[in-house]
């Protein structure tokens, strides 16, 4: 079993250090902003100044997870769909407009996708396995698959999460490359997964990704059948914009994009919602269906033991 022990989300919701994120959720308007914790409590000011929003969010969420975990993480798996966009754009401007041979390297150094994971290892002085996955809308799901594999291989405290940041330039991509029916947002959600239950009650039971699925309903039903379940067992279904399956009237459904806003690793925040909902209710099974990009389907099943 893969127990979820600790969660830290920094999002456009009041989600950091709250006992039940569901009690605070509000549908996002167009002008919402990240509700940031006091980063200075987590990162020394000298380091903080250099860090872009996605790095601040990812690092702080990870430190919070470590603060709530006794042992050091023995594996770290990070998903990010578009990586460190602010520093990427900054360095594009730097070298396209350079008038001398001397360029500041900071933005370049911090532009690679694994700066998030690298900063986490540096911040926590952690020498363990450290992986960065990027696969558009299923970036979090593949990072989670890696984390569960780490547990199967014998790891005991795995940090898994995702982080993505919004930059104004992304708005130019709407609506052709990025849909414009939800506000573009930033977000980081990190989880500590362990094979041991101790005080935890909610598990990641299974996760899968499907590429170019021709029959999404069939894929989801098959995924559940592999767990000896049917759609009738699902009491909470979280989805991205359109629910691709028919559920019965007992199933609570929630379009997580209304709360996370749009970034391609937002299904991590959906997993936070699903966890808290199971933990604070009688519900046993929650399913996260992520087809934010219609040609890639992520399916994650949480269960309460």
Partner 1 sequence: MNIHITGYGLITSIGLNTEENVASLRSLRTGIAKGRLDNTKAYNVGEIHLTNAELKEQFKLQTDGSRTALLGMAAAKQAFEGHVLSDQIRTGLISGTSVGGMDVSEIEYKNYLNESNHNPDNYKHHSSGTSSEQIAQELGISDFVNTISTACSSAANAIMMGARMIKSGTLDRVVVGGTDSLTSFTISGFKSLMIFDDQWCRPFDDTRKGLNLGEGAGFIVLESDKSLEKTGKKPLARLTGWSNASDAFHQTASSPDGHGARLSMNEALRISELQPGDIDYINAHGTATPNNDLSESQAFQGIFGTAIPPFSSTKAYTGHTLAASGGIEAVFAILAIRNGYLYPNLNFKTPIAETGLTPQLDFEEGKNIQHVLSNSFGFGGNNSTIIISAV
Binding positions for partner 1, rule: CB under 8 A: 76, 81-83, 89, 91-98, 101-105, 108-115, 117-119, 121-122, 124-136, 139, 142, 145-146, 149, 152-153, 172-173, 176-177, 209, 211-212
214, burial (CB in 10 Å: exposed 0-12, middle 13-18, buried 19+): exposed
Query: CB of 295: closest distance to partner 1 in angstroms?
Result: 8
For residues 303 and 278, what is the distance between their CA atoms, to the nearest angstrom? 7
| Strand, helix or coil for residue 109 | helix
Closest CA to 107 of 132, 186, 98: 98
Cβ distance to partner 1 smaller for residue 22 or 85: 85
* H-run or E-run covering 161: strand 158-164
DSSP 265-290: TTHHHHHHHHHHHHHTSS--EEEEEE
Cβ distance to partner 1 smaller for residue 67 or 136: 136
Cβ distance to partner 1 smaller for residue 40 or 125: 125
For residues 273 and 303, what is the distance between their CA atoms, to the nearest angstrom? 13
Closest CA to 191 of 288, 282, 113, 111: 288
For residues 9 and 161, what is the distance between their CA atoms, to the nearest angstrom? 9
What size, in residues, is the chain?
Answer: 305
Query: CB of 139: closest distance to partner 1 in angstroms?
Result: 7
Query: CB of 253: closest distance to partner 1 in angstroms?
Result: 28
Cβ distance to partner 1 smaller for residue 102 or 228: 102
Cβ distance to partner 1 smaller for residue 35 or 208: 208
* Residues 288, 185, 9, 22, CA torsion sign: negative
Cβ distance to partner 1 smaller for residue 67 or 106: 106
Query: CB of 97: closest distance to partner 1 in angstroms?
Result: 7
Query: CB of 232: closest distance to partner 1 in angstroms?
Result: 27
Query: CB of 121: closest distance to partner 1 in angstroms?
Result: 4
Query: CB of 251: closest distance to partner 1 in angstroms?
Result: 28
Cβ distance to partner 1 smaller for residue 115 or 189: 115
């Amino acid at each position: 079993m893969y127990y979820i022990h600790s969660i830290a989300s920094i999002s456009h919701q009041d989600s950091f250090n709250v006992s039940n994120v569901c009690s605070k959720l509000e549908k996002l308007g167009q002008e919402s902003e990240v509700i940031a914790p006091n980063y200075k409590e987590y990162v020394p000011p000298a380091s903080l100044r250099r860090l872009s929003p996605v790095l601040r969010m990812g690092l702080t969420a990870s430190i919070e997870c470590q603060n709530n975990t006794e042992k050091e993480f023995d594996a770290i798996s990070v998903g990010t769909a578009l990586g460190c966009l602010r520093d990427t754009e900054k360095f594009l401007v730097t070298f396209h407009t350079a008038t001398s041979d001397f360029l500041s390297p900071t933005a370049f150094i911090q532009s690679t996708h694994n700066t998030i994971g690298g900063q986490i290892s540096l911040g926590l002085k952690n020498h363990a396995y450290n992986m960065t996955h990027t696969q558009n809308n299923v970036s979090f799901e593949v990072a989670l698959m890696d984390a569960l594999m780490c547990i199967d291989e014998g790891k005991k405290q795995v940090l898994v999460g995702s982080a993505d940041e919004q930059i104004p330039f992304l708005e130019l991509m709407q609506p052709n490359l990025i849909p414009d029916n939800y506000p573009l947002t930033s977000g980081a959600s990190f989880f500590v997964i362990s094979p041991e239950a101790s005080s935890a009650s909610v598990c990641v039971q299974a996760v899968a990704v499907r590429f170019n699925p021709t029959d999404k309903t069939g894929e989801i039903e098959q995924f559940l059948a592999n767990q000896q379940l049917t759609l009738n067992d699902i009491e909470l279904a979280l989805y991205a914009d359109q629910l691709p399956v028919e559920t019965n009237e007992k199933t609570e459904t929630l379009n997580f994009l209304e709360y996370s806003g749009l970034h391609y690793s937002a299904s991590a925040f959906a997993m936070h919602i699903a966890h808290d909902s199971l933990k604070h209710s009688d519900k046993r099974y929650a399913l996260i269906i992520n087809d934010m990009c219609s040609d890639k389907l992520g399916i994650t099943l949480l269960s309460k033991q």
